[in-house]
Structure formats: C-alpha cells, structure tokens
Amino acid sequence: NLTTSLTNPQHLLFDEICNSPWFKDTTFMLFLNKTDLFREKIPRVPLTVCFPDYSGENNYEQGTSFIKQQFLDTRNFNQKIYHHYTCAISTENVKFVFGAVKDTLLDGTLDTFLL
C-alpha cells in the first residue's frame, strides 16, 4: 500500500516535489544512500518493520528494488527518474555515481538542444 510507505518524511517530501505541477516536466535523480548499512542490517531486520506490505525476501537486491519502486510509484506525471544506490563513505562509489550523473545530465542537455 503506497499510503503506508509514505509515512517516511523522505517519501513525503519526494511525493510533494515530484507531483508538484511546477515539476511535471522535470527529470529527477534519486539517490538511495547508505547502501552499506542497508546491506548489513537487511538480514537481521525484516523490511516489513518499515514497509508492512513488503512480501519479498529479506535480501539486499529485493529490498533495494522494492524501496526504489516505492519512490517511483509516487509520481503522478510521467517524469524520468534516474536512480542511484550510493554509499557516501565509499570514494569509488561516489566517483562512479557522479560520473553517471554527469553523463546523464550531458545526454539530457544534448537531447534538449539538438532535438
């Protein structure tokens, strides 16, 4: 149930911004941070503690996919939302993610101006 998952302040803020008419044609970048902590805790703490309607296995892949989908499902408009799983304390991960973001922004800019 989407309403249940939107009790988290981050979900509420994302929902408010993403569904604002001001941003209906905006491309978003969703950063799901602290993957290291999530990977460590998911075997010990069921995801149903935060998401009672979660029915997948208690593992990193299914858990991160479910959480990402909770954010994507909040949009009322058909915006592009690029997502990245991040671990801000990992220099290599940060470099990789920001390189991917830069490429995405450049591609979007080229598409806009070159049609």
User: Binding site, residues?
Assistant: 33-36, 88
Q: In this structure, what token pair is assigned to residue 57?
A: 């296995």
Question: Rounded to an integer, what distance in angstroms lies between the CA atom of residue 8 and that of residue 16?
Answer: 12
Annotated binding site for GTP: 33-36, 88
For helices 60-72 and 9-18, give the axis angle rounded to 10 degrees: 40
**Cα separation, 51 vs 83, whole angstroms:** 20
- On whether the CB atoms of residues 93 and 86 are closer than 8 A, the answer is yes
In angstroms, the Cα distances linking 1 to 36, 48, 52, 97, 108 are 27, 12, 8, 30, 33
